[in-house]
């Protein structure tokens, strides 16, 4: 028993003497809790919306104002062409489109049913479902008010039939199937976990067993060492992505509607960030245990919380929303969902791809410079 107590004391003393592990185990979880507290909100406070009002009447404007006054809908775009609606939904600039027919007011004044088209981007089924619920409540309430007004105006006690019939359409994921928009995000997470963890662990392992020092005295240059580590992990990342995409296609029946070649190009650009982060973790970790903990608590979980994969970014505080702009996973999830579910390509995704590339280059260059300095 005495030996056991002494052994426990020894482990606690070693833990206390390792400030990096102390920070990873005790401080990072607190930071994660704070971040999760701000990010964890499944409610949808802002529904970005495009409006195509073909009627341009007082009645149609009143209908649009109902959505604005609800506090949930932001009318970001007013367009005059249906192609503009399609383009904005393809790019992911809006979650919802309101299309009002040219005979809207005429039908209302003639006691006929007025048709309104509500289109939702189903590539994020959770947000689309919430937005559809908000919309249904607004349209239903407005229709009831119109019925009451008509009954009072004409002195009728009987109920009219519906005055507004919304034609609800969900694009890209018509049935709002959860796995259709979750699985592309899983591909992103698997690539992040595989490439970041393997890179950080492999380099730290070289340091632990002493082979890194042996490589330093050889003519091998730092960039050659980095490339030698990266190339196998890039291949492993592509293999992992291919396996998941194959399971998506043949097990779950989710086809990749866009270009496979373009998807792999985007995946390679994404891996510039994940490999760079793994390299950075290796420069601040002395042991494989430290590298694993730092990768998990310092890289993967923050990116998961702030990427929009679980919680809507629109609900986060403004300061946190600004922080999400430097999260590579955020852009890759948008890209892979766009390619897989929407079938879109470079024309619609070039901005996200350019930002992802810039972030990847910056992370990789800074990490490589730090790694080279560590070797000196």
| Residues 58 and 72 placed together within one structural domain of the fold | yes
pLDDT > 70: percent of the chain: 80
In a domain, 21, yes or no: no
Confidence category of residue 248, pLDDT binned at 50, 70, 90: confident
Cα separation of 108 and 116, whole Å?
Answer: 12
What is the reported pLDDT for 162?
46
Residue 112 belongs to a domain: yes
Which residue, 171, 186, 220, sits at the end of a domain? 171
Given a contact cutoff of 8 angstroms between Cβ atoms, the answer to whether 75 and 67 are in contact is: yes
Give the Cβ contact number of residue 78 at 10 Å: 12
Does residue 38 surpass a pLDDT of 70?
no
Domain contains 9 = no
* 128 and 58 together in one domain: yes
- Do 264 and 122 reside in the same domain of the chain? no
Euclidean distance between CA atoms 80 and 87, whole angstroms: 13
Q: Do residues 327 and 303 touch, judged by C-beta distance below 8 A?
A: yes
> What digits encode the pLDDT tens for the residues 151-186?
666 555 555 544 777 888 999 988 888 888 888 888
The pLDDT of 103-113, averaged and rounded, is 80
Q: Are residues 280 and 206 in the same domain?
A: yes
Task: For residues 149 and 194, state if they share a domain.
Answer: no
Question: What is the tens place of the pLDDT at every residue in 128-149?
Answer: 888 999 998 888 888 777 766 6
130: left (phi over 0), alpha (psi -120 to 50) or beta: alpha
| Whether residues 146 and 200 fall in one domain | no
Mean pLDDT of all residues in 111-127: 86
Q: Does 148 or 285 have the greater pLDDT score? A: 285
| Higher local confidence (pLDDT), 70 or 206 | 70
Per-residue pLDDT tens digits for 343-359 = 999 988 999 999 999 99
Distance from C-alpha of 68 to C-alpha of 72, rounded to nearest angstrom: 7
Q: What total number of domains does the chain contain?
A: 2
Determine the pLDDT at residue 28.
59
Give a yes or no: residue 3 inside a domain.
no
Domain's final residue, options 137, 171, 205: 171
Does residue 30 sit within a domain?
no
Window from 17-21, 102-106, 259-263 with minimum mean pLDDT: 17-21
What pairing do the DSSP bridges indicate for beta strands 96-100 and 114-121? antiparallel
d(Cα 76, Cα 91) in Å, to the nearest integer? 14
User: Does residue 195 sit in the same domain as residue 148?
Assistant: no
Distance in Å from the first CA to the final CA of the chain: 47
CA-to-CA distance for 164 and 162, rounded, in angstroms?
Answer: 6
Which of 156, 171, 186 marks a domain boundary?
A: 171
In a domain, 307, yes or no: yes
Same domain, 81 and 166: yes
Q: Is residue 24 part of a domain?
A: no
Angle made by CA atoms 25, 26, 30, in degrees to the nearest 5: 115
Average pLDDT, the chain: 82
Q: Quote the CA–CA distance of 236 and 184 in Å, as a whole number.
A: 18
Task: Residue 303: give the domain boundaries.
Answer: 177-375
Q: Do residues 151 and 222 both lie within one domain?
A: no
| Residues 297, 342 share a domain | yes
pTM to 2 decimal places: 0.81
- The helix (run of H) or strand (run of E) holding residue 76 is strand 73-79
CATH code, 167: 3.40.1710.10
Whether 16 is in a domain gets the answer no
Whether residue 321 sits in one domain with residue 219: yes
One domain, residues 276 and 303: yes
């Amino acid at each position: 028993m005495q030996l056991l107590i002494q052994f426990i004391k020894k482990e606690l003393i070693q833990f206390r003497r390792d400030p990096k592990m102390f920070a990873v185990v005790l401080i990072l979880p607190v930071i994660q809790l704070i971040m999760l507290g701000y990010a964890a909100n499944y409610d949808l406070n802002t529904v970005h919306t495009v409006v195509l009002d073909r009627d341009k009447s007082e009645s149609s404007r009143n209908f649009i104002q109902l959505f604005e006054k609800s506090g949930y809908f932001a009318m970001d775009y007013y367009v005059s062409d249906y192609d503009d609606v399609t383009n904005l939904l393809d790019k992911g600039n809006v979650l919802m489109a309101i299309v009002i027919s040219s005979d809207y007011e005429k039908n209302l004044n003639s006691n006929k049913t007025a048709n309104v088209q509500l289109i939702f981007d189903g590539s994020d089924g959770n947000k689309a479902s919430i937005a559809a619920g908000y919309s249904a409540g607004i349209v239903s309430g407005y229709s009831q008010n119109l019925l009451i007004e008509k009954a009072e105006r004409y002195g009728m006690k009987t109920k009219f039939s519906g005055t507004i019939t919304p034609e609800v359409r969900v694009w890209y994921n018509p049935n709002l199937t959860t796995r259709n928009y979750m699985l592309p995000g899983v591909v992103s997470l698997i690539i992040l976990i595989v490439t970041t963890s393997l890179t950080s662990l492999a380099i730290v392992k070289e340091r632990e067993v002493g082979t890194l020092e042996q490589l330093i005295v050889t003519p091998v240059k730092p960039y050659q060492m980095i490339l030698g580590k990266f190339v196998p992990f890039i291949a492993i990342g592509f293999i992992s992505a291919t396996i998941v995409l194959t399971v998506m296609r043949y097990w779950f029946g989710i086809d990749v509607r866009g270009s496979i070649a373009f998807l792999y190009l985007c995946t390679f650009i994404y891996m510039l960030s994940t490999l760079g982060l793994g390299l950075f973790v290796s420069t601040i970790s002395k042991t494989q245990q430290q590298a694993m903990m730092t990768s998990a608590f310092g890289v993967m979980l923050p990116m998961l919380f702030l990427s929009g994969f679980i919680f809507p970014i629109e609900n986060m505080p403004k300061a946190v929303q600004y922080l999400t702009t430097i999260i590579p996973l955020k852009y890759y999830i948008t890209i892979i969902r766009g390619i897989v579910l929407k079938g879109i390509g470079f024309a619609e995704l070039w901005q996200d791809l350019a930002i992802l590339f810039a972030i990847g280059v910056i992370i990789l260059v800074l990490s490589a410079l730090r790694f080279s300095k560590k070797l000196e």
